[in-house]
Structure 1
Amino acid sequence: MKKVLCLILLTSSAVMSQVKPTDDNNKSDIRYSLNPSGSHYVKFTFINQAWFRLNDNNPGTTVLTDPASQTFDIGLRRTRIQLFGQITDRIFFYTQFGLNNFNKTNGFPGYNTVGTPSNRKVGAFFHDALGEYEVQRKGNNFIRFGGGLTIVNGLSRFSQPSISTIMTLDVPIFAQATVDQTDQFARKLAIYSRGQVGKINYRISVADPFPIETNGAVPPSLNANSVFAQKKHKKQFDGLLIYNIFETEDNTTPGYMTGTYFGKRKIWNIEAGFIAQKNATWRKESVDTLYSNMNLWSVASYLDMPLNKDKGTAVSAYLGYFHMGYGKGYLRYNGSMNPATGTTLPITGVSGTQGNAYPMFGTGNVIYSQFGYKLKDGLLRSHGTLMPYASLQKSDYERLRDPMILYNVGVNWLMKGNNGKLTLNYENRPIYKNSTIANELQKDLRKGSWILQYQVSI
C-alpha cells in the first residue's frame, strides 16, 4: 500500500512539474470553446461600477421630502453580466443582463410628498438579446445582419458605448438621444446590418420605438413645447459611417464602441451618423396638435494612439458636433443616478429639476470634446499607472437664453487597465431658472459634484 501511495505521489509530482504555474493567469477572459481551434465559443463577462458621491444639489432639492442642499450617496451606476458567443462560422448571439442607477432612492421612481410604495428589487432587466448572421467574410471585411433588442444605433460612437472601457467617468449621455423615453436604456427592438468594407465601418438599423407611456413615468402632458408623441407611432431609422484612417476597431460585439485602447492600437476615425423618425414628437399650438419629425445628426473625429510604446504613454481625444432636432421647444432635464426625489422650486415647463439634474437633452446644437493622457506604465510600480482627462459639453438649446456648459475633470488610477480602475471626477454644471421671457430659461449659478468610482470587470 505504501509503495502504491508513493508511486501516486511521484506521478502527480511529475505531472504537476510539467504544468506552468502561470497558465491560469494567462487567461484573459472566461470562455468555453466549442471547437478545437476556439473560433466557436461562448464567453461570459461581468462589470460593476460603484459610485461614492458628494453632490451640491440644485436649489429647492428634497430627498424623501426632507430639504437637502447637499447629499452624499453610494450607488451602483452599472452592474452587468454578458453572455455571448460564436456558435458557427456565421452565427453569433449576444445577451446582456443587469441594472443601472441603483442607490437608496432607486426604489422610489414615483415618489411624491405623500410617498408612493415601490420595490427596490425590480431594477435588473435584459439590456440586449439578439442574434446575428454573417453573410460575407474576407479578411477583416465582413457583412452581418441581425435583430432583437440591441444598442446598434446611429448618431455617434457615444450613442452605443462600451461602458467598461469609458475613458471619462461617464459617457456624454445626451448622445443617447432617446434614452428611457422611447427605448430601453438606449436599446431598441430593431433589425440591422453592420460591417467593415475596406476602411469604412457601417451600421444601419430600423427600430420599432417603445411607446413613451411604457417608460415607468407619467408621460409629459401635451403643451406648447414638443414632447414625445403618444399617437401616430412610426419606425425609426439609424445609421453611422466611420472612416478608419489607420487601424480598424474591434467588431466582435454588435454596436458597442471602445472608449479608449490605452494606446494598444493606432486609431484615428472620422464619423457621421443620424437618427430619424417621423411624427416622433407633438405639441399644442392654439387648438391644434402639431407633430414634428425627429432629425438628429452628427459629425465627429476620434483619436486613440500610443505616443511612446516603450514607456506605454498614450493619448485619447474626441471632438463632435451634434444637431439635435426633436421639435420646437423640446427640453429634458436629467441627472445620472439622481440622489434626490423632489423639489420645492420647480421650473415652469420642465420636470425632474432636483438633485444633480441639468438640461441634458434639447432641440438645438451641441459641441462635445474630451481629452485624456495615459502616463507611463508602472508609474505607481506594481499598483499601475494614471490617466488624467477632461471633457467639455456646450449645448445651445432653443429654450435656454445662455448655453448649457458642462465640464468634467478627473483622473483614472489604472490598477489593471479597465479590469480594476479607480476614478476621481469633478463635474460642474449650470443651474437655470425661469426667465423674464416666456418659455425661456436663464442661467442662475453653478453647482458641482465629486464622484469616486471603483470599477471591477472581467
Structure 2
Amino acid sequence: MKKFLLLILAISPILPAMAQADNEALRFKLNESGTHYFQATLLNQAWLRSTENNPGTTVEGNLESQSTDIGLRRTRMQLFGQITDRTFIYFQFGQNNFNAQYNSTSNRKIAPFFHDALGEYRLSDKNQLKVGGGLSIISGLSRFSQPSIGTITTMDVPVFAQTTVDQIDQFSRKLSVYARGQIGHWDYRYILSDPFPITSNGQTPPALAPVSNFALKGHNLQHQAYLIYQFFDQEAHTTPYMTGSYLGTKKIVNIAGGFIYQKDAMWNKAAASPDTTYQNMAHWAIESFVDIPLNKEKHSALNAYIGYFNTNYGTNYLRYNGVMNPANGTTATAANSISGHGPVYGNSYPMFGTGSVVYTQIGYLLPSKNASMSNRWMPYASATLAYYDRLNGFSNNTFNAGINYYIQGNKSKLSLDLQNRPSFQVNQGELVKGQRLNSVTLQFQLFI
C-alpha cells in the first residue's frame, strides 16, 4: 500500500501538463443540416489498485493478504445516431473487469461482447413518447441502475443498484421493449423485459436450499417502471443512460421512484420439506438527485444524491461480489464463512441481498477562474448502508472517498479512490463481523 501511494505522489506534479485541447466528436452528418447523424465514442478506464484481501484469500494457489493489480474496468465503443427524423439506433460493444484473473482457468481472450443493441422510434413531435426495443440497460429501479459510466461523479457506480447483474441479464442488459418520454416536468419509462435463464450465466447454479436463489425452472417476463419529477432543467434524453454529473452546466433537481417485478423468479426448499417454494422478485426505490452550479463566477458546482432501496429476492438471499476481483481462490470453508452466493475471496463483500439499502454521495467541483473543465478538481464521498436479512441484524456498510482531476472534463480524467468495506466470518456456528478492509485505486479515464 505504501509503494502504491508513493507512486501516486510521484506522478502528481506532471498532471497539469497533461491538459489538452478539446477534441471534436466522431460525428458524421447524414443530411445537410446535421439533424440526421451517426456518432462513435470510445471509452477506456484503466485501474491501478492495491487491495486488502478477505481472510483466506489465495491467488494462483498462494495465500495473499494483499493484492496489487492492473486492469481495465471498462473498455467500450458506442455507435449511435438519429438516422431519420424519428428513428434512433444505438449499439455498445466492449468488455469489463479485465485483469490478470479474468477467465484465469479458461480463455482470457473471450472478453468483448455487445452490451446494447436497440432501435427506437419517436411517436411524438418532441420527446413526449418514444418506443423501442432490443438489448438494453434501460431499467425501472434507479438512475444508478442505468448509469452513464463516462460521467459518474464517484470513481465507480454503486453496483448493488444493478440488482440482477450477470445473473439473469447480460451485464445488467436485458432483451426488452419499452416506452419512455418527457412531458413537462415529468420523465418516465416503462419496460417489459425477457430475462435470461440463470443457467446461461456461465456459472454453476447453487443447489436448491432453504435460502432463495434464482429459479432454474419456469420463466416469466419482468415488469419495470421509473418516474422522475424535474424541478428545473430537463435531463439529457438521447440514450436511456442517465448522466452522473453535468459538472455545473445544468440546474438539475429531481425526485424519482421506480420498481422491478418478476413473478416466481426465485425458489427455495426447506430442509425437511419435499416441496419447492417459488417467490416473486420485487424491488423498489425512491431517490433524489441534485447537480447544480453554486457560483457562476467561480465556476463551482454541487453534485449530490440520496436513495432508499428495498430489495426482495426471496428468503435470506445474499450474494457476494467483488469488482474486478484480484484473487481467484480461498481456504475458507462452509464452517467458517457465510454460505451465500458468489466468491468470498479477494475484495468481495455482501453486495446484493433481501433487505434495504440507503445510498448517498456528494461531490464538490472546486472553484476556479477557469471557465472550461481543464485542470479542475472534484473531491467526493459516498456511503452504502445496507441491512440484509441473512446478516442477522449486522450492518453492512461500505464507504468511499476520493477526488477527480479533470484534465479535460470527462474526456480525460484521473480519479483516486479509497474504499473501506466490511467482512464477515462464522465462528463456532455464529456469524461475526471481521475486520474492516481497505482498497485504494487510481483510475485513468479517456473518453472521446
- Common fold: TM-score over 0.5: yes
Aligned to 2:208: 222
Write the deviation string for residues 352-405 of structure 1: whole angstroms up to 9, x where unpaired. 000000000000010000000001235799960110000001101001131100
Alignment counterpart, residue 107 of structure 2, candidates 119, 125, 150: 119
Aligned to 1:444: 434
Q: Which deviates further from its counterpart, 399-408 or 173-182? A: 399-408
Partners of 1:436 and 1:144 in 2: how far apart?
A: 57
Partners of 2:22 and 2:412 in 1: how far apart?
A: 17
Name the SS of the counterpart of 1:164 in structure 2.
coil
Aligned to 1:44: 40
Aligned to 1:176: 162
Amino acid at match of 2:351: M
> Does 1:373 pair with 2:364?
yes
Aligned to 2:410: 418
Aligned to 2:246: 261
Amino acid at match of 2:358: I
Write the deviation string for residues 164-205 of structure 1: whole angstroms up to 9, x where unpaired. 001001000000000000000000000001100111101111
Q: Which deviates further from its counterpart, 212-221 or 120-129? A: 212-221
Q: How many residues align?
A: 421
Aligned to 2:11: none
Name the SS of the counterpart of 2:269 in structure 1.
strand
Aligned to 2:234: 248
The offset of 1:327, in angstroms, is 0.3
Alignment counterpart, residue 297 of structure 2, candidates 290, 296, 310: 310
Amino acid at match of 2:31: N
Structure 1 runs not aligned, ≥5 long: 1-24, 109-115
Contact in 2 for aligned 1:75/1:101 (Cα 8 Å): yes
Partners of 1:455 and 1:101 in 2: how far apart?
A: 14
> Does 1:131 pair with 2:119?
yes
Partners of 1:382 and 1:165 in 2: how far apart?
A: 13
The offset of 1:27, in angstroms, is 5.6
The offset of 1:436, in angstroms, is 5.8
Aligned to 1:282: 267
Alignment of structure 1 residues 46-195 onto 2, 5 Å = 46-108=42-104, 116=105, 118-138=106-126, 141-195=127-181
Contact in 1 for aligned 2:316/2:389 (Cα 8 Å): yes
Write the deviation string for residues 199-228 of structure 1: whole angstroms up to 9, x where unpaired. 110111110000111111111111110001
The offset of 1:287, in angstroms, is 1.8
The offset of 1:337, in angstroms, is 0.1
Partners of 2:28 and 2:22 in 1: how far apart?
A: 15
Name the SS of the counterpart of 2:35 in structure 1.
coil
Alignment counterpart, residue 336 of structure 1, candidates 315, 318, 323: 323
TM-score norm. by structure 2 comes to: 0.92
Contact in 2 for aligned 1:378/1:384 (Cα 8 Å): no
Write the deviation string for residues 285-322 of structure 1: whole angstroms up to 9, x where unpaired. 12211111001000000000000112110000000000
Partners of 1:251 and 1:382 in 2: how far apart?
A: 23
Aligned to 1:430: 422
> Does 1:457 pair with 2:447?
yes
Partners of 2:372 and 2:250 in 1: how far apart?
A: 23
Amino acid at match of 2:111: G
Write the deviation string for residues 136-186 of structure 1: whole angstroms up to 9, x where unpaired. 024xx4210000000111100000000000100100000000000000000
The offset of 1:26, in angstroms, is 6.7
Rg larger in structure: 1
Partners of 1:149 and 1:372 in 2: how far apart?
A: 32
Partners of 2:49 and 2:94 in 1: how far apart?
A: 21
Partners of 1:107 and 1:280 in 2: how far apart?
A: 28
Partners of 2:53 and 2:345 in 1: how far apart?
A: 7
Name the SS of the counterpart of 1:165 in structure 2.
coil
Structure 2 runs not aligned, ≥5 long: 1-20
The offset of 1:442, in angstroms, is 3.1
Amino acid at match of 2:199: E
Name the SS of the counterpart of 1:75 in structure 2.
strand
Partners of 2:410 and 2:307 in 1: how far apart?
A: 24
